Amino acid sequence: MSAVRPQAGVPTRLLLGSGPSIVPERVLEALAQPTIGHMDPAFAAIMGETIDLLREAFQTDNRATLPISGTGSAGMEALVANFVDPGDRVVCGVHGLFGERMADELARAGADVVRVEAQWGRAIDQERLIAAAADGLDAMVVVHGETSTGVAQPLDGLADACREQDALLLIDCVTSIGGHPLRIDEAGVDAAFAGTQKCLNCPPGLAPFTAGERALAKLERREQPGRSWYFDLSLVLGYWTPDENGGGGRSYHHTAPINMVYALREALRIAVGDEWLPSAWERHRRAHHALRDALGVLGCVRLAPDGEQLHPLLAVSPPEGVDEAAVRNALLLDHGIEISGGLGPLAGRLWRIGVMGAGARREPQQQLVGALCELLGAEPAEALAALDEGWRA
């Protein structure tokens, strides 16, 4: 009954790494719908539904909500290109690879970057971010879901600290969107970017993006065009949301990645249409803890301490004495299951396991635990029982 037939050279994998995640067949089928034109009224209707679903995923009413035409990292570049001007003082939280990247991106944009760091694997104490803001700032950027360490950064208090200084709060929620509690408007976030290939279970290629009125006002105050034409929201919005941006009809900017938008719409229909978002968050929480408990039986220890864990990404140390890369490769090549290794200073010391959307379910976790037990020479019964127990909790 499957409409999607594997072609030579593309193996079937169970994607339980840091992303891309498991893509449901409905999404693959949507991706393969016939291409139509980017100015076709039928495509306009698809864009409109996609925007509505994205607003739900971000929990925002922002008119400027749309997918940027590039992967998650393109969302980072769009965020900085639109809302950070040369010379801006920007407080940047750095507690993993993606915070490091953000700091690099900010420096390239000519910002005066004030780094507030925490050890990789820990959240940043908000009081330290707030204290850095007290010295004056134009923007604060934090990584809400640090994919390199599996840490969720609390946002409490940050928006107030920014508003007191008329600064913007900007966040990376690539891995948290759809899987870890986050309400953009309630948190006072001024702009955010996300990824499609994590909890939304869509192939990579688009970056969900949202910006509120304070951020857009800063963009409008610019006296000369920003450094990027491709990511210039003042142009992109004329294509994506003409009615909410002065009307006058949709104007061509660049050719949208038509088929990727079909796929994102379908993925969002599943992620925030078929399931109530708070239920999805709760499912990710349970899935995270169940898998953590099961892997704990095998001797894996989670990097993030209790209370700082990012539900969609479980980062654990491999059991003592195990060649982590050898096990990871055997998982992929012998069992068809992908998990990810550590990055940067954590290379060789971490397994990063996605608990994302369709992967945040008992069955794929059972497959992973079973295969890991086989490779580690462990009896699976106890670990599987811990998994079941976790799901019942």
Contact set for a second copy, span 101-130 (CB under 8 A): 101, 104-105, 107-109
Binding letters toward a second copy, positions 273-302, x by CB under 8 A = ------------------------------
Q: Which of 257, 296, 319, 370 binds a second copy (CB under 8 A)?
A: 257
- Rule CB under 8 A: say whether 255 interacts with a second copy: yes
Q: How far is the CB of 144 from a second copy (least distance, A)?
A: 18
- Rule CB under 8 A: say whether 256 interacts with a second copy: yes
Distance between CA atoms of 254 and 336, rounded to whole angstroms?
Answer: 38
* Burial per residue of 301-330, b for 16 or more beta-carbon CB atoms within 10 angstroms, e otherwise: ebbbeeebbbbbbbbbbbbeebebeebbeb
Q: How far is the CB of 357 from a second copy (least distance, A)?
A: 12
Name residues contacting a second copy, limited to 6-65 (CB under 8 A). Answer: 6-7, 9-13, 15, 17, 19-20, 23, 28-38, 40-42, 45-46
Distance between CA atoms of 317 and 355, rounded to whole angstroms?
Answer: 16
Q: How far is the CB of 386 from a second copy (least distance, A)?
A: 27
Distances (CA, A) of 352 to 2, 17, 290, 387: 30, 6, 15, 17
Nearest to residue 238, comparing CAs of 257, 225, 254, 219?
254
Q: For 89, phi and psi rounded to 5 degrees?
A: -90, 120
- Rule CB under 8 A: say whether 357 interacts with a second copy: no
Q: Which of 52, 56, 73, 370 binds a second copy (CB under 8 A)?
A: 73
Nearest to residue 78, comparing CAs of 211, 197, 188?
211
- Rule CB under 8 A: say whether 229 interacts with a second copy: yes
For 48, residues 6+ apart whose C-beta sits below 8 A from its C-beta are none
Q: How far is the CB of 137 from a second copy (least distance, A)?
A: 21
Structure letter (DSSP) for residue 324 = H
Lookup result for tokens 């330290």: 128
Q: Which of 47, 51, 76, 116 binds a second copy (CB under 8 A)?
A: 76
Q: How far is the CB of 240 from a second copy (least distance, A)?
A: 14
Name residues contacting a second copy, limited to 234-253 (CB under 8 A). Answer: 252-253
* Choice between 301 and 325, CB closer to a second copy: 325
Q: How far is the CB of 12 from a second copy (least distance, A)?
A: 5
* Antiparallel, parallel or unpaired: β 139-143 and 145-146: unpaired
